[in-house]
């Protein structure tokens, strides 16, 4: 990317330089994950340079740059589909600061990734709110049937409630609140490896290595296999990442490690699907959920995986919004 500094100053001199920076931009947006604010800002400036250069070069040299216009449109589509990931890399504050520094009245829409992502989120919430309203009646009826005919013992209900609240709080970024719920769940069931795993991951996130190691060891002893251990750890790290912690890359590593131990372990595929969804890799997430549903012998995991897959297939061009995956117990 040697020429990037010059072309970013609006000095794209000819069609060949335009094609070079288009290629650089395509590589930049494809490889943005983990590259940080400077990389993303450099990419946004490239979009500015490309957008400015195309009409100017067509007018100056009388050349037909339709293919280059198409490539710019493709870049914009990629930017939209990866908007959440790009915003996570650059940070809302840094993006706003750069926007103010530019000081131009008219900026490309990509300089407003924060507003774009927020609007996408609101649109998704509105759509799912409508769908939720449709099924509320059915859920009420199902709840009555469950309460009177199918409900488990009160202790089991309390345990499920604690675990559900713990997962929800993790996804919201309330780590201390989640820890309290998981510790309450542990008092009800000390033999569940997933509970030890959740507490261990939270303590590790909080910097208490001794407590984390203690619970990881207990979780590993209670798991039936290494694949089970790593898959459950991947899910906990995913929830932490969904709440804002920097654990997404490790969640992916743990899921892949589980699959190294057992390539047909359904929960590992399910965990990897969650990670990919949060990364904005929608086709990959759909694939992993499908594999999980095909491999699993657990009816609840099959239903969950197919439901998540169906939801993503209905919105293939949107970056996934973290969902409470409700891992089957």
Per-residue model confidence as pLDDT tens for the chain (329 residues): 333 343 455 578 899 999 999 999 999 999 999 999 999 999 999 999 999 999 999 999 999 999 999 999 999 999 999 999 999 999 999 999 999 998 877 889 999 999 999 998 888 777 777 776 776 766 676 666 656 665 567 777 888 888 889 889 988 889 899 999 999 988 888 888 989 999 999 999 999 999 999 999 999 999 999 999 999 999 999 989 988 889 999 999 999 999 999 999 999 999 999 999 999 999 999 999 999 999 988 898 999 899 988 888 876 444 444 444 445 54
* DSSP-derived 3-state class of residue 317: coil
**Together in a domain, 188 and 272:** no
- Whether the Cβ atoms of residue 22 and residue 76 lie closer than 8 Å to each other: no
Taking the C-alpha atoms of residue 51 and residue 43, their distance in angstroms, rounded to an integer, is 12
- Whether the Cβ atoms of residue 244 and residue 288 lie closer than 8 Å to each other: no
Residue 180's contacts (CB-CB under 8 Å, 6 or more residues apart) are: none
**Reduced to 3 DSSP states, what percent helix, strand and coil does the chain have, rounded to the nearest 5?**
80, 0, 20
Taking the C-alpha atoms of residue 110 and residue 108, their distance in angstroms, rounded to an integer, is 5
**Together in a domain, 58 and 11:** yes
**Together in a domain, 252 and 205:** no
Taking the C-alpha atoms of residue 70 and residue 58, their distance in angstroms, rounded to an integer, is 14
Taking the C-alpha atoms of residue 264 and residue 323, their distance in angstroms, rounded to an integer, is 24
**Together in a domain, 205 and 260:** no
**Together in a domain, 106 and 171:** no
Please check whether residue 125 lies inside any domain of the structure. no
Residue 103 DSSP class: -
In the numeric block, the tokens 């009245």 are attached to 105
Burial class (CB in 10 A: 0-12, 13-18, 19+), 290: middle
Residue 15 belongs to domain spanning:
4-115
Q: How many domains does the chain have?
A: 3
CA distances from 182 to 72, 130, 136, 155, 162 (A): 48, 32, 28, 15, 7
**Together in a domain, 110 and 169:** no
Please check whether residue 237 lies inside any domain of the structure. no
- Whether the Cβ atoms of residue 73 and residue 26 lie closer than 8 Å to each other: no
Which of 222, 257, 272 is at the close of a domain? 222
Query: What's this model's pTM, rounded to 2 decimal places?
Result: 0.51
Please check whether residue 120 lies inside any domain of the structure. no
Please check whether residue 201 lies inside any domain of the structure. yes
**Together in a domain, 276 and 314:** yes
**Together in a domain, 277 and 328:** yes
- Whether the Cβ atoms of residue 294 and residue 263 lie closer than 8 Å to each other: no
């Amino acid at each position: 990317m040697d020429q990037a500094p010059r072309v970013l100053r609006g000095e794209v001199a000819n069609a060949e330089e335009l094609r070079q920076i288009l290629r650089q931009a395509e590589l930049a947006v494809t490889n943005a994950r983990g590259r940080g604010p400077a990389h993303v800002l450099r990419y946004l400036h490239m979009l500015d340079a490309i957008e400015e250069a195309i009409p100017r070069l067509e007018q100056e040299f009388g050349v037909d740059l339709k293919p280059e216009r198409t490539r710019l449109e493709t870049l914009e589509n990629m930017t939209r589909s990866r908007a959440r990931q790009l915003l996570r890399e650059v940070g809302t504050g840094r993006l706003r600061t750069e926007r103010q520094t530019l000081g131009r009245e008219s900026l490309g829409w990509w300089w407003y990734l924060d507003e774009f992502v927020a609007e996408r989120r609101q649109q998704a919430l509105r759509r799912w709110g409508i769908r939720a309203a449709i099924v509320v009646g059915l859920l009420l009826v199902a709840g009555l049937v469950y309460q009177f005919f199918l409900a488990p013992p009160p202790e089991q209900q309390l345990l499920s409630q604690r675990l559900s609240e713990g997962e929800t709080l993790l996804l919201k970024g309330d780590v201390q609140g989640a820890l309290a719920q998981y510790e309450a769940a542990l008092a009800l069931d000390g033999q569940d490896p997933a509970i030890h795993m959740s507490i261990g991951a939270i303590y590790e996130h909080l910097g208490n290595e001794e407590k984390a190691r203690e619970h990881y060891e207990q979780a590993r002893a209670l798991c039936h296999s290494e694949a089970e251990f790593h898959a459950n750890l991947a899910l906990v790290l995913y929830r932490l990442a969904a709440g804002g912690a920097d654990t997404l890359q490790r969640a992916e590593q743990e899921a892949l490690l589980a699959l190294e131990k057992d390539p047909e372990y359904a929960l590992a595929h399910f965990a990897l699907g969650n990670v990919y969804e949060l990364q904005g890799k929608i086709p990959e997430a759909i694939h992993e959920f499908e594999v999980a549903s095909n491999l699993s012998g657990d009816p609840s995991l099959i239903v969950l995986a197919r439901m998540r897959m169906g939801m993503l297939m209905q919105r293939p061009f949107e970056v996934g919004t973290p969902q409470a995956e409700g891992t089957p117990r």
